[in-house]
Every structure is written in C-alpha cells, then in structure tokens.
Structure 1
Amino acid sequence: MEFGEDAELQALRETVAAISKPFGGAYYTEHSEARKPTSEVWAALAEAGFIGVNLPEEYGGGGGGIVELAAVCEESAAQGCPLLLLLVSSAISGEVISRFGNEEQKQRWLPGLASGAHKIVFAITEPDAGSNTHKIATRAVRDGDDWLLTGQKYYISGFDEAAAVLVVARTGTDEATGKARLSLFVVPTDAPGLTTHPLPVAVQVPERQFTLFFDNARVASSALIGEEGDGFRQVFHGLNPERITGAALCVGIARYALGKAVDYARNRQVWEHPIGAYQGISHPLAKAKIETSLAALMTQKAAWAHDHGLPAGEPSNMAKYAAAEAALAAVDQAIQTHGGNGMAVEYGLVPLWGLARVLRIAPLNREMILNYVAQHSLGLPRSY
C-alpha cells in the first residue's frame, strides 16, 4: 500500500491553493449573496490548466484523471472558493465525452472544456423521476437526420453559464424488461425549442438553478453521444466522477471551515483562556477533523479506483456520503464556535453551510447511498 502523494500531485495542490487563496471566502460570500458566477477564479484556474486537468492532452487537457481533478476541487474549496460546476462540466461531461464521444464531438467540445472557455452542464433530474432514472419521461425521437427532444428537466445547475447541456433522454423501451432505453445528447443552450425558467432556491450559492423545457427541441444527429440506447452505461460512467469530485469539494469545505473555527478558537478570549482551551469547543472540532480526514481517505481511494479502471461504485458512494456528512458537521461546528459571529456575513460561514447541506442531498442523497451499500455491499434485499 502507498498512502503518500507524489511530488507532482503535491505541487498541483499547492499551486491550486495559491491561485485560489487571493479570492477566498469573502469573494465567495459576495458572489453567493448576489447569485453571481465565480467566473474570476474559474478563469484563473483555467489559465493555469487546472479546469481540464483530467481531460486528454491531445484536446488541450492535462492528461490526468479524477485523482487530479478531485485535488483541484478540494484545494480551491479549502481556500473558501468551492466550484460546484467542476462536478458537472469537468467531471461528468468531460469524462463522458472523452470516453464515449466520437472524434468530431471530442474536437468540438473538449478543447473548450479543457481551456475553461465553455461549460457543459448535465440534465438528468425530472419532476417525476428524481433518483429513479428508469422513470425519465424526456423523449428523443428521430426526425430525418435530426433528433427532436420533448420533456422537462429541473434543478439544472449553471445553465446560464453553459454553452451546452448533456441531456439524458428516453429513446425507446427494452422489450425484455420494460425499462427505458436511454441515450445522451449534447444540446447547445440555444437549440430551437429549448426554453428555460430560473428555479429559485433559498440557499445562497453562486450557481443558479433552472428548469428546462424541451418542446420538440431540434438537434443534429451529431448530438448523440456514442450508440443509441447506451445512455445508462454512459450515465453511470459519469456519475462516479461526479460523486468523487463532490466528495472532494465537501472535504475542502470542511477543511476551510475548520481552519476558520480553529483560528477563531485560538484567539477569542472571553474568560481567562482562549475558548479553544475548553473541551466543549475543542472536542467537537477534533471530531470534525477526524471525520474530515476519514472522508478524504475514502475520496482518494475512490478516485484511484476510477482512474485504474477498477469498480468504483462502492468507494464513490461511500466517499460522497462520508464527505457530505463531514462537511456539514464541520461547518455547523464552525458556526457554533463563532457564536453569534457565525451568522455574520464577514465570517462567510452560512453560504458554505448551505452548499454543504445541498451536497448532502445532491448529486445523490444519503438515503440512496445507504440503499446502495445495503444492497450491493451487504447483500441485503432491495427495497425500492
């Protein structure tokens, strides 16, 4: 076993941290309150080649894997600037197009993803489908050389920042099982027949949410990724990287919150000692540190398994579960450590609590992860 990181990965972490640090928590809080994209830190990381670190070198990427992309997600978040769209644009869309796209699609989309010039967001969730992918109602039917998409998607993050959206649609039914045959399409955001509506959410994060309406939205045959009906396999190739990078984002959030809490606890003095000397403060922070470190280890294991072509479903789900729990607990304890100041805008903790709370639900909620582990890891009967 080798638990150490090589010098190249350590250097990547240090450089990402150095690029992200000048933006920091104040920048993220400001953009969260304004629901304004964090374009400046995205551009800075893109200029250094880190947005597409997992994409193939022949298309302008860094030639790395999810190990490297997870490090970018974690380190930028650990400086107070978590970038949610790395999960959908670089991880899901980049991985799916790299693996299943044809040469024309790779040439069209990957260089822009690698350079950060454009983003491709992901559309799978529907009002009546949720976590049950087989119930997807959005359909794609052939019309000559084109495809027509009809249906609705919602909770689509960052559509306003994207050049295209990777859409999961039903293209038939499996005669043996009666389940949907799914296919993936790269749909430009200006496709005829595609309209959007902002989906207001209470949580304050920079990335906005949208409902998408497809009314016979027309796309060329070149929009289909890979083979028709192969979408289920393609989706799950992208979902493990999403869960891993989501876990890495959570680890970074937890590290940032703990850093803020520890600094405050060292310096805040109400009685004769700094408040960090009291076990009512120190023990919960120590517990959060342990849980964050454990989550980081599982995240690294999941990323390593994915990059080595090994089964990554179990570690990816476990990493996502552990990291979301750790991030939420760490931010909550950081708020508690700050007392009333935990709610003050200048300390920037509440937006991170909101994001951590979202990541406990999405991209896959903790209950479905527990279902997965119960069924696949423990061999218990399926209940859903």
Structure 2
Amino acid sequence: MNYTESVERRALRAAVADLGARYGQRYFLDKARTGGKTTELWAEAGKLGYLGVAVPEEFGGGGGGIGDLAAVCEELAATGCPLLLMVVSPAICATVIARFGTDEQKQRWLPGFAEGTTTMAFAITEPDAGSNAHELATSVRRDGTDWVLNGGKYYISGVDEADAVLVVARHVDENGQRLLPSLMIVPTDAPGFTFQPIEMDIVSPEKQFTCFFDDVRLPSDALVGAPDAGLAQIFAGLNPERIMAASFSTGMARFALDKATAYARTRSVWGTPIGAHQGIAHPLAQCAMQLELARLMTQKAAALYDAGQDKAAGEAANIAKYAAAEACAATVDQAIQVHGGNGIASEYGLGALLTASRVSRIAPVSREMILNFVAQHTLKLPRSY
C-alpha cells in the first residue's frame, strides 16, 4: 500500500487549493449570511473539471475515483469554502447512477455531473426512521407504466439548488406489501413534490429541508437499478458519502489549525509569542497528529473503495468518518481557545465553524452508530441496537 499520494493527486490538490484561495472564507460567509449561494465557485470548479473528477471519461468526467473527489472536497474546505453539496451530488448521486443507472440515465445525468451544471440532492432520512432503510415509510408503487411516490423526508441538503432528488422509498407491490427500498430520481419541479426549509443555527449557504411527496407521478425510467436491489445500491452511495464527509471534516480542521498556528506564532504576550508556551503548543500538536491520522484513514477508505473492495471499504469509511469528525471538533475548539476572545469574533472566522464542526459528529451518520458498527462487525460483539 502506498502511503503517499500520486503526483497527479498532489497536482489536483494544489490546483483546487489555488481556486479555493481565490474565493476564500470571506466569500463563503458573505454568501451564507446574506442568503446567497456559492454559485460562482461551484460553476468554476465544474468548468475546470474538479467536480467531475470521479465521473467516467465516456461521460465527460475525469475517470478518477472517490479519492480524487475527496481531495477536491478537502482542499476547498481547507481554504474556508466547505461545499456540502459535494458530499451529496457528485459523490452519492453520480456514483449510484454511474454504477446502477440505465444507459439512458447515464447519458441524461452524468455529463451534467461532470461539468457541474447538474446538481442532485439525496433523500433517505425520515423523522421516525433516521437512516434506517428497513423502517422507511416513504413508498413507491406501480400505476400502469408510471410510479407513484408518497411520503416525506427531512434534513435533506440543498434541495433548493438541485435539479432533482434521488429518493429512497420502500417498494409496494400490487398486494400492498412493503418490499425492499428502491431509488427514484425525482425532479424538484415534479407536481406533488414540495419542500420547506428547516431553520438551522449553522452558517452555511446550503440549507436543510423537509420534503413532502403527495402522489408524485414519475415515469418508468425514474427508477435507478432494480426495485429489489435498493439496499446494495444505497450503500454503494453511502460509503462514498462517509469518505467525502471525512474529507469535508479534515478540510475544515486544516483551516482551523492553520488559523490557530498563525495566531500562536504572531500573537505576543510579555514579549513572547504564545506558541512558545507548551500550554498552547502541545494541544495544537495533538490536533495536528489527530488530523493527520484521520486523513490517512480517509485515504485508505478511498483506496479500498476505488479498488472495488466494498466490504473493507465500508468498515474503513465508517472509521474515517468517525476519526475525521472527532479531529475536526477538537481542532476547531482548540483553535478558538488559542484565540481567546478573538476566537468568537467575526473577523477571525472561527466562530462560524463551531456549529459546523459539531455537526460533523452527528451527520451523515452519528458517532454512536459508527461505534455500533465497529463493535458488531469488526469486534464481532452482539448487536446492541
């Protein structure tokens, strides 16, 4: 196993970092606080091919893997521009369609993913089921050649920016029996589909929504893959989601650590930089080590996924997501502490990261569910939930 990235991956990181630096956190926060969107950054990243690095070449993408896309996500976050929709649209939705979509679906959607002109949200979470696909109430049934979708989802990211939503729904047969989950592509302008924002105490241009599906009629080609293979298809998208979430977190942590170390080098008290004191230096060194370990685990997870080792990748992706979230929360907290009162001043841009870093321990899967997964599948302990 290589512990260093390829020359091409490092060049990709450098190019994306240059792009992110031209926009920076001030751009990101201004958009978030004024109700705007990061449209210009997203469009330029798409035009340069960064959003489509993992889309197959035959559809206009870079032909790379999830590791390449995760590198893009991390580098943008490290410049103060963490784009949440990168975790969803090109990672989950494009991956699922590339692996399981029909030829027509691939031709319809993948070129747009490749150039960043298509955005798709992903909807699995429900109030009474969380992300437990076995307990989902949203249903889809056949009506002639069409599909009819009913139910609701919540905490769905970026619906207002999306062209469509990839919805997880339980298939209902002609006898009313609920079968395995199915994946449906639902245009955001489909009759019967409505959504409303959820007020959140997080500074981000990308919003969360509750979605409602009331007899939403969809054509036969809205189904992705087989109606009884939804679980396998879901996890083909959720493992990349965890890898991308880990990179999202490590990017934010890098941004916070850079801020903290720069401040510790230049802020002097009684003629000495505060970074010269072990009470400041040692906690920052611990954050740096925790962050680097999380990045290494994320790279391992991506390498396993790109190598087609789905089972091993699932375990690694969960561990990476856990490690990255813990590193991010700890690093942002320490960076604020190093700055003292300045840590929550808007000028320094750290207070805005506090809620976002805390969310990383909750979504897209909670730290407790990852601990359950590792206990059960890695340690072979009895299931606890």
TM-score normalised over the length of structure 2: 0.97
CA contact (8 A) 1:172 1:229 kept: no
- C-alpha offsets along residues 17-57 of structure 1, whole Å, 9 cap, x if unaligned? 01110111111222232343211211121111000110101
Separation in 2, partners of 1:146, 1:156: 25
* More displaced 10-residue stretch of structure 1: 36-45 or 193-202: 36-45
CA contact (8 A) 1:32 1:351 kept: no
Separation in 2, partners of 1:212, 1:179: 21
* More displaced 10-residue stretch of structure 1: 347-356 or 15-24: 347-356
Question: Structure 2, unaligned stretches of length 5 or more?
Answer: none
Q: Which residue of 2 aligns with 1:331?
A: 332
Q: Does 1:267 align with 2:266?
A: yes
Q: Report the alpha carbon displacement of residue 206 of structure 1 after superposing the two structures with TM.
A: 1.4
Q: State the secondary structure of the residue aligned to 1:360.
A: coil
Q: State the secondary structure of the residue aligned to 1:149.
A: strand
Q: Does 1:84 align with 2:84?
A: yes
Q: How does 1:303-342 map to 2 (within 5 A)?
A: 303-310=302-309, 311=311, 312-342=313-343
TM-score normalised over the length of structure 1: 0.97
- C-alpha offsets along residues 315-369 of structure 1, whole Å, 9 cap, x if unaligned? 0000000000101111111111111111111111122222221121000000000
Separation in 2, partners of 1:35, 1:278: 41
Q: Which residue of 2 aligns with 1:197?
A: 196
Separation in 1, partners of 2:166, 2:102: 15
Q: State the secondary structure of the residue aligned to 2:283.
A: helix
Q: How does 1:201-240 map to 2 (within 5 A)?
A: 201-240=200-239
Q: Does 1:185 align with 2:184?
A: yes
Q: Does 1:114 align with 2:114?
A: yes
CA contact (8 A) 1:134 1:180 kept: no
Q: Report the alpha carbon displacement of residue 131 of structure 1 after superposing the two structures with TM.
A: 3.0
Q: State the secondary structure of the residue aligned to 1:22.
A: helix
Q: Which residue of 1 aligns with 2:365?
A: 364
Q: Report the alpha carbon displacement of residue 179 of structure 1 after superposing the two structures with TM.
A: 7.6
What is the one-letter code of the residue matched to 1:325?
A: E
Q: How does 1:1-384 map to 2 (within 5 A)?
A: 1-172=1-172, 180-310=179-309, 311=311, 312-384=313-385
- C-alpha offsets along residues 233-252 of structure 1, whole Å, 9 cap, x if unaligned? 10000000000011011111
Question: Structure 1, unaligned stretches of length 5 or more?
Answer: none
Q: State the secondary structure of the residue aligned to 2:27.
A: helix
What is the one-letter code of the residue matched to 2:60?
A: G
Separation in 2, partners of 1:253, 1:202: 18
CA contact (8 A) 1:73 1:248 kept: yes
Separation in 1, partners of 2:191, 2:234: 25
Q: CA RMSD in A?
A: 1.3
* More displaced 10-residue stretch of structure 1: 220-229 or 293-302: 220-229
Q: Report the alpha carbon displacement of residue 172 of structure 1 after superposing the two structures with TM.
A: 3.5
Q: What is the identity percentage for the equivalent residue pairs of Structure 1 and Structure 2?
A: 58
Q: State the secondary structure of the residue aligned to 1:130.
A: coil
- C-alpha offsets along residues 136-188 of structure 1, whole Å, 9 cap, x if unaligned? 00000111111110001000100000000000000038x9xx98411000110
Separation in 1, partners of 2:347, 2:139: 47
| Count of matched residue pairs | 381
CA contact (8 A) 1:168 1:183 kept: yes
- C-alpha offsets along residues 111-150 of structure 1, whole Å, 9 cap, x if unaligned? 1111111200100001111132211000001111111100
CA contact (8 A) 1:36 1:206 kept: yes
Separation in 2, partners of 1:351, 1:141: 43
CA contact (8 A) 2:118 2:162 kept: yes
What is the one-letter code of the residue matched to 2:337?
A: Q
Separation in 1, partners of 2:350, 2:36: 18
CA contact (8 A) 2:193 2:211 kept: yes
Separation in 1, partners of 2:101, 2:153: 23
What is the one-letter code of the residue matched to 1:46?
A: G
Separation in 2, partners of 1:3, 1:362: 28
